[in-house]
Chains A and B, each alone.
Chain A
């Protein structure tokens, strides 16, 4: 997901368009005699790896609470019987170190709180980690993906 650019506190006039006005370089007392074309401001080229472009992505998260009462099955209904490994992958039943399914769906609200630090209802610490990792791996087309996607807050 893209990060939002940090905006400076305070706002330029909303009606103003174009680049910011030139900053001062050199002693202030020269300002009156220096024409605008001689007065250069510093151009921020940024760091090598730092992106200066944010691309708008389709949004559902903010409205999701108003339009969707959703649940996330763990695992997908087509995978009943599989166990969930610590990293969230589905494995054969009784695989060592993997956990049986919780036996219930989790609501979007329960998952949102779990992503913020609480534990999924009825889950031990390790089960919670496994189930959340399963949910984080969900792809489009799997049950619960839309529900999970709708939980993503922009910040």
Chain B
């Protein structure tokens, strides 16, 4: 069994693998990340059947938390399997913060949260912002603090005056997909890129190591200032998302909202009450960045 450990923000993982190659890939790409002594989650890359360790090797993603119906991946996509396994542990097992399926980036001490389905463009947008004056915080999961912030000038504990909790960074490798790969290949040095994985369930995938500043500041939270629902590939448009609709959509973008009970309710309600939200459509990355920069200027 080959083993790899990494800490990303508040979560520490161990990945155990029947094969060496995925572990070598993880070690190279996560080389600048802290190695934890203790872990929160274990991910395992197991042979789908005993003989599939050697013959047309096939990887089943397993770990502390698992979903039934998982289909195996070929060994060539072992790095993807490890990343999906870590995502699965967070999605099913993380309870210390409200988990939002979102990218996030920080500027001037405040966080932008970008939420949407896979394919909406949030991963590529987070990566682009990270290369363009923003601190990359995450591309897959944004963590919302369950404690509510307080305005500095407000000494009362009245619920209505409380600010939202902070967004915590969770800067794992960025999972670039299809068109997003080309957009970043031209912008970053090659040693920050993993292998191009072809024919995965999501098409072509290539992993990108976040910028050094993002890794160095993985423990620095930021108060949220703006929420954006990006949609790549549509004619340029901006729409305000009202707080009630925002709450509804974010409950569906969170795998642990229900499990967190009252604490999740309070945290998400305050988040939706105090942070403005916009839905944006854009044809390409540059247009998306431009729209976001403009909305950021206008945000309170």
**A and B are interacting partners:** yes
List A residues at the B interface (Cβ < 8 Å): 4-5, 7-12, 14-15, 17, 54, 56-63, 65-72, 105, 107-109, 143-147, 150, 153-154
In the complex, residue of chain A having the shortest beta-carbon distance to the beta carbon of B68: A146
Chain B residue numbers with a CB within 8 Å of A61 are: 252
Q: How far is the CA of A113 from the CA of B257 in the complex (A)?
A: 28
Q: Are A68 and B70 in contact (CB under 8 A)?
A: yes
Q: Are B255 and A60 in contact (CB under 8 A)?
A: yes
A–B Cβ pairs within 8 angstroms, 14 of them: A8-B242, A11-B241, A11-B276, A12-B243, A14-B273, A14-B274, A14-B276, A59-B254, A59-B258, A63-B253, A66-B140, A70-B70, A147-B69, A154-B252
Closest 10 CB pairs of A and B: A65-B118, A147-B69, A67-B88, A11-B240, A71-B71, A7-B245, A70-B69, A59-B252, A58-B258, A11-B242
Taking residues whose C-beta sits less than 8 angstroms from the other chain, chain B's interface range is 35 or more
* Smallest beta-carbon distance A99→chain B, Å: 22
Q: How far is the CA of A107 from the CA of B13 in the complex (A)?
A: 28
Q: Are B69 and A7 in contact (CB under 8 A)?
A: no
Chain A residue numbers with a CB within 8 Å of B61 are: 69
Q: Are A62 and B252 in contact (CB under 8 A)?
A: yes
Chain A interface mostly = loop
Apart from A5-B245, A66-B101: 4 A-B pairs, beta carbons within 8 A: A56-B248, A59-B257, A62-B116, A71-B71
Q: How far is the CA of A146 from the CA of B65 in the complex (A)?
A: 14
Q: Are B201 and A72 in contact (CB under 8 A)?
A: no
A70 contact from B71, B249, B258, Cβ within 8 A? B71
Q: How far is the CA of A17 from the CA of B73 in the complex (A)?
A: 49
In the complex, residue of chain B having the shortest beta-carbon distance to the beta carbon of A2: B248
Q: Are A68 and B69 in contact (CB under 8 A)?
A: yes
Indicate whether B117 reaches chain A with its CB closer than 8 angstroms. yes
Indicate whether B87 reaches chain A with its CB closer than 8 angstroms. yes
Q: How far is the CA of A8 from the CA of B119 in the complex (A)?
A: 27
* Smallest beta-carbon distance B177→chain A, Å: 10
* Smallest beta-carbon distance B262→chain A, Å: 13
In the complex, residue of chain B having the shortest beta-carbon distance to the beta carbon of A152: B252
**Contact A69:B70 (CB < 8 A) given known A11-B241, A59-B251, A154-B252:** yes
Chain A residue numbers with a CB within 8 Å of B255 are: 59-60, 63
In the complex, residue of chain B having the shortest beta-carbon distance to the beta carbon of A54: B248
Q: How far is the CA of A72 from the CA of B272 in the complex (A)?
A: 36
Q: How far is the CA of A65 from the CA of B120 in the complex (A)?
A: 12
